[in-house]
């Protein structure tokens, strides 16, 4: 009986085993009708709870999570082989799932991998994850998780990989995570974590990769992190960390990737970087910190280096040799103080030819000088971005850039590049961004740029480009921003340009050129444009009604043109307009009421037009500080703070005046005006010998009204200001009718003596003509739009400014910084001869001798050929013919000129004489060749410029000569005849600046001797 029982049991066990085997086999064949086996119910229920928390499943990946399949066969679920029917992996990555993570996740007690990355899970990370003691991989990055990091994740003691990056986590990094002794990858980047880096993390002795970047961590980097001896990736980028990098960090030899960019870290880079410090270095990024000192020369031997970024620091010195860095892909040292500003700074560019994978080259906003090596065109054809802007580079842009066929961005603005834009840039068909603005490029815009069909940004502003806009630019159908402002472009705005560039959405800037004609009707095709600037041109005609179609416009600048007529009613459609400037034109009619309804309008300038009638009072017109209507003399009404007269449109009681009454009034007014004209003519004839008539210059046909000069100078804009003197300011202007470039000297009528200076200068300049005297074109004595007295003199424009600018360049002048100025020995001598000839003419060849009285470098102007012209005759005096007064003297006393240049006898009350001009010339001559002002701080206690030179001659001439003469030009000053020439020049300066007036050289002899020195010097 016992045997039978045993046999039964054995048979039953065998059958049962066979059933399970068959069922298992059928399960592995993934039969759709498989019957669910009895398994671990807690895992199945946990999975269903997780499914219940998923609110959006666009790919229906959890549709298989049902009773027809065993949960081990559900999508993303992998069961353990060792522990039958227990979930070992849950992988639902990159499925666009939305929902929260169920706390029931903690019931999957055999889970080793949880991967939910690249979804949209939200809410907090459930702390129940801490129950997963077998968990090795936790990947929750690229979701929308919030809240803090559960500290009980530290209970997952088998954890090797922890990725929580790219979420919305807040709070501090839990110090308890230091108990994860097996952790190799720890990445919390791109969250909102705060606080300091817990020093306890130094206990993570197995760590190989740390990523804590893109948070708000603060404090210093704990030195205990040096315990991470196995570390290969160190990333703390974009936080608020401060202090220095603990030196021991650089001893972690396995580091391949080192990133601490965008913090507030200080100190210097280790001198052994790339050798004994990080010998395996491939990626090094310390951008946007406070590092000082030089780039270590040791990186020349870091042959594994792929990525090197140290931009936006305070690094100085030269760039090390890069010829061994064949694997380099990115080299970025922008925004530092690297370079010397001299030739040869960019020699490292030629050393990058062997870096065949180079894609990014950035060294903008440094102090690199010299020329750009032509070898740049031989760099890797993989190169995509070149950043060179904001340096002191000069010379022409090398041809051959067309070889860089994969270039996407060419940024070379804010330098001193000259020459034309290379036409072969048009061969780089993938170019998307070109920045060549604020250089000194000239010539026309190459039509080949129209081949760049992927171009999105083109900046050519602030150059000397001329000619018309090539219509081929209209082929750049993806262009978003076009800036051609501040050039010398002319002609009409091409219609094809506006038709083709319907993609423009950021801005179109054509301001400060010489465009003529009307604004094309096709401007209305720019429906997506946010900003349009055509100010300071010579556009005429009426505004096209199509302008209202530019419905995205936020900024519209049309000021300072010759546009006229009514404001088109279609502009009421510009609902988004914020800034509108129509000033300095000839618009007329009533101010449109629809301006009141433009709710976003924050600035409206209608000044200096011909508007008439009542100013509206609603909308933008309620704010006087946001609205300007100056210079429209026929306006009335408006809010009180505008100060306009009250409108009075009522007719007289008697209705219209009778025809007879009108005739009487007309005749009466006519005779009155005629009589007044006769009286004024008699008064004028009587006083014309005593008063200066300012409209009798040779070129009095040029416009001289206040309005004309206002428009010519852009409203006396600070942009056009080229000098400020004792009695007023000088502006560059363009007299639009003749396109004449002029210098306009506007007198400051509040300055005592300004009017007298104006009349004196008019009187002198109308009587003299000489090639070395500044040429006055016309004058204006009028009333401005506010009713104030206005006086101005209009001169021929001198392209090279004043001699002062060249002798003493101001470091505060941006324009001078862009173009360092220096004069050679011969150039200085030529200018000295020009000045001497001018004085000789004034003293000895005018009908009545003239004394300038204020000769100094700022009153000597240089034309495009650097020929000198004496200017500013506001203090000049005629020497009166008299038997009792020497021809060399005037009875006018009290003229002092400028400190340092004024003759010593004037200080003792002596009368004005030509001897005083000779003294000023002598001091000026010494200043020109020593480079020192007579008011220099070194002069005092009895030492002045005259004695400084006198005590150095003849043996120490090189000690006192301007160093720029010794360094530059084609003249070798060390040669004996050049030394002799300098000694002779200084001798003339001394002979002209002696104290005794009557022993000074005659200016005619000075001019002759300087001519002789020049001939000997060149021969």
- Tokens 């205990």 belong to residue: 224
Neighbour-count burial of 345, counting CB atoms closer than 10 A to its CB (0-12 exposed, 13-18 middle, 19+ buried): buried
Say how far residue 771 (Cα) sits from the centre of its chain: 40
Q: In the structure encoding, which two tokens stand for residue 820, read together?
A: 């360092």
In angstroms, the CA 348 to CA 319 distance is 7
Tell me, what DSSP letter sits at residue 658?
Answer: P
In angstroms, the CA 768 to CA 558 distance is 41
Tell me, what DSSP letter sits at residue 695?
Answer: T
Q: Is 854 a catalytic residue?
A: yes
In angstroms, the CA 595 to CA 597 distance is 5
Write the DSSP string, 950-974.
HTTTTTTHHHHS-HHHHHSSS--TT
H helical segments located in 596-641: none
Neighbour-count burial of 702, counting CB atoms closer than 10 A to its CB (0-12 exposed, 13-18 middle, 19+ buried): middle
Q: In the structure encoding, which two tokens stand for residue 115, read together?
A: 């991967």
Catalytic site residue from 581, 854, 872, 962: 854
Determine the straight-line distance between the first and last CA of the chain, rounded to whole angstroms: 141
| CA-derived radius of gyration, the chain | 41
Q: How many residues does the chain have?
A: 1019
Sign (positive/negative) of CA torsion 379, 384, 386, 387? negative
In angstroms, the CA 209 to CA 256 distance is 10
255 within 8 A of 245, measured Cβ to Cβ? no
- Tokens 């034109």 belong to residue: 585
Residue 470, number of CB atoms within 10 A of its CB: 18
Question: How would you classify the pairing of strands 409-411 and 385-387?
Answer: parallel
In angstroms, the CA 778 to CA 833 distance is 27
Neighbour-count burial of 783, counting CB atoms closer than 10 A to its CB (0-12 exposed, 13-18 middle, 19+ buried): exposed
The angle that helices 825-844 and 1003-1018 make with each other, rounded to 10 degrees, is 150
988 within 8 A of 994, measured Cβ to Cβ? no
Query: Which of 296-326 are b and which e, b meaning 16 or more Cβ less than 10 Å from the residue's Cβ?
Result: bebbbbbeebbbbbbbbbebbebbbebebbe
Tell me, what DSSP letter sits at residue 784?
Answer: -
436 within 8 A of 413, measured Cβ to Cβ? yes
In angstroms, the CA 466 to CA 443 distance is 6
Phi, psi of 526 (to 5 degrees): -85, 65
547 within 8 A of 525, measured Cβ to Cβ? no
The angle that helices 976-992 and 1003-1018 make with each other, rounded to 10 degrees, is 170
In angstroms, the CA 613 to CA 938 distance is 64
Q: Taking the C-alpha atoms of 634, 638, 640 and 643 in order, what is their torsion angle to the nearest 10 degrees? A: -20
Query: Which of 74-106 are b and which e, b meaning 16 or more Cβ less than 10 Å from the residue's Cβ?
Result: bebbebbeeeebbbbbbbbeebebbbbbbbbbb
549 within 8 A of 524, measured Cβ to Cβ? yes
Catalytic residues: 854
């Amino acid at each position: 009986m016992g045997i039978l029982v045993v046999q039964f049991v054995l048979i039953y066990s065998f059958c049962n085993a066979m059933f399970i085997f068959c069922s298992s086999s059928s399960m592995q064949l993934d039969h759709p009708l498989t019957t669910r086996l009895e398994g671990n119910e807690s895992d199945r229920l946990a999975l269903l709870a997780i499914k219940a928390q998923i609110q959006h499943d666009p790919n229906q990946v959890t549709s298989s999570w049902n009773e027809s399949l065993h949960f081990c066969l559900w999508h993303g679920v992998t069961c353990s082989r060792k522990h039958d029917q227990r979930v070992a992996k849950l992988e639902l990555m990159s499925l666009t799932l939305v929902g929260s993570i169920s706390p029931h996740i903690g019931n999957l007690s055999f889970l080793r991998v949880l991967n939910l990355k690249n979804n949209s899970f939200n809410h907090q990370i459930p702390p129940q994850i801490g129950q997963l003691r077998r968990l090795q991989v936790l990947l929750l990055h690229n979701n929308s998780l919030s809240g803090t990091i559960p500290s009980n994740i530290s209970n997952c003691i088998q954890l090797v990989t922890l990725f929580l990056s790219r979420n919305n986590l807040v709070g501090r990094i839990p110090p308890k995570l230091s108990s994860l002794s097996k952790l190799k990858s720890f990445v919390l980047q791109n969250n909102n974590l705060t606080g300091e880096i817990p020093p306890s993390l130094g206990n993570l002795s197995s760590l190989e990769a740390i990523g804590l970047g893109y948070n708000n961590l603060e404090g210093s980097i704990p030195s205990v992190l040096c315990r991470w001896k196995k570390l290969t990736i160190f990333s703390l980028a974009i936080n608020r960390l401060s202090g220095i990098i603990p030196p021991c960090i650089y001893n972690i030899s396995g580091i391949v990737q080192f990133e601490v960019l965008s913090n507030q870290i200080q100190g210097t880079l280790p001198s052994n970087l790339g050798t004994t410090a990080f010998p395996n270095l491939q990626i090094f990024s310390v951008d946007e910190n406070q590092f000082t000192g030089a780039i270590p020369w040791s990186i020349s031997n870091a042959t594994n280096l792929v990525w090197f970024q140290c931009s936006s620091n305070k690094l100085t010195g030269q760039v090390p040799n890069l010829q061994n860095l064949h694997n380099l892909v990115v080299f970025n040292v922008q925004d530092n103080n690297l370079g010397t500003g001299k030739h040869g700074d960019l020699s490292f560019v030629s050393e990058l030819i062997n870096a065949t994978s180079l894609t990014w080259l950035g060294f903008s906003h440094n102090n690199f000088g010299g020329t750009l090596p032509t070898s740049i065109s031989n760099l890797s054809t993989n190169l995509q971005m070149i950043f060179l802007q904001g340096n002191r580079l000069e010379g022409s842009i090398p041809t051959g850039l067309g070889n860089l066929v994969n270039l996407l961005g060419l940024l070379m603005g804010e330098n001193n590049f000259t020459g034309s834009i290379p036409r072969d840039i048009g061969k780089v068909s993938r170019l998307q961004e070109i920045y060549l603005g604020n250089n000194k490029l000239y010539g026309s815009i190459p039509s080949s740029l129209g081949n760049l069909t992927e171009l999105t940004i083109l900046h050519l502003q602030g150059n000397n480009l001329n000619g018309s806009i090539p219509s081929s630019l209209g082929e750049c159908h993806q262009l978003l921003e076009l800036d051609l402002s501040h050039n010398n472009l002319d002609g009409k705005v091409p219609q094809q340009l506006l038709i083709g560039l319907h993609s423009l959405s950021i801005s179109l800037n054509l301001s400060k050129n010489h465009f003529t004609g009307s604004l094309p009707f096709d401007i209305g095709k720019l429906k997506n444009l946010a900003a349009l600037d055509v100010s300071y041109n010579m556009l005429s005609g009426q505004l096209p009604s199509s302008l209202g179609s530019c419905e995205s416009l936020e900024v519209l600048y049309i000021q300072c043109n010759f546009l006229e007529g009514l404001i088109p009613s279609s502009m009421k459609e510009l609902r988004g307009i914020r800034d509108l400037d129509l000033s300095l034109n000839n618009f007329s009619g009533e101010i449109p009421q629809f301006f009141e309804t433009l709710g976003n309008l924050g600035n409206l300038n209608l000044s200096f037009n011909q508007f008439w009638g009542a100013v509206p009072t609603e909308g933008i017109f309620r704010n006087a500080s946001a609205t300007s209507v100056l210079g429209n003399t026929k306006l009335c009404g408006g809010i009180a703070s505008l100060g306009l007269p009250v409108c009075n449109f009522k007719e007289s009681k008697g209705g219209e005046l009778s025809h007879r009454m009108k005739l009487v009034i007309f005749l009466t007014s006519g005779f009155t005006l005629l009589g007044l004209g006769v009286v004024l003519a008699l008064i004028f004839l009587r006083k014309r010998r005593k008063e200066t008539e300012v409209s009798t210059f040779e070129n009095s046909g040029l416009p001289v009204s206040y309005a004309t000069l206002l428009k010519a100078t852009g409203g006396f804009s600070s942009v056009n200001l080229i000098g400020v003197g004792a009695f007023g300011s000088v502006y560059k202007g363009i007299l639009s009718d003749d396109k004449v470039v002029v210098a306009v000297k506007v007198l400051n009528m509040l300055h005592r003596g300004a009017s007298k200076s104006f009349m004196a200068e008019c009187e002198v300049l109308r009587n003299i003509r000489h090639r070395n005297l500044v040429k006055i074109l016309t004058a204006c004595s009028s009333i401005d739009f506010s009713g104030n007295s206005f006086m101005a003199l209009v001169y021929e424009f001198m392209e090279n400014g004043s001699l002062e600018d060249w002798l003493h360049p101001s470091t505060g002048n941006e324009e001078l910084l862009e173009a360092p100025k220096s004069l050679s020995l011969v150039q200085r001598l030529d200018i000295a001869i020009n000045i001497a000839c001018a004085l000789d003419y004034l003293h000895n060849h005018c009908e009545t001798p003239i004394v300038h009285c204020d000769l100094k470098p700022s009153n000597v102007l240089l034309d495009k050929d650097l020929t000198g012209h004496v200017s500013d005759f506001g203090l000049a005096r005629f020497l009166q013919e008299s038997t009792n007064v020497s021809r060399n003297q005037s009875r006018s006393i009290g003229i002092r000129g400028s400190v340092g240049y004024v003759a010593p006898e004037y200080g003792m009350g002596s009368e004005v004489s030509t001897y005083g001009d000779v003294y000023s010339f002598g001091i000026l001559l010494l200043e020109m060749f020593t480079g020192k002002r007579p008011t220099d701080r070194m002069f005092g206690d009895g030492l002045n410029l005259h004695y400084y030179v006198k005590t150095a001659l003849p043996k120490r001439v090189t000690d006192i000569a301007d160093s720029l003469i010794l360094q530059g030009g084609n003249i070798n000053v060390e040669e004996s005849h050049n030394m002799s020439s300098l000694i002779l020049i200084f001798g003339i300066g001394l002979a002209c600046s002696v104290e005794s007036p009557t022993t000074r050289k005659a200016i005619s002899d000075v001019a002759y001797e300087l001519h002789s020195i020049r001939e000997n010097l060149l021969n």
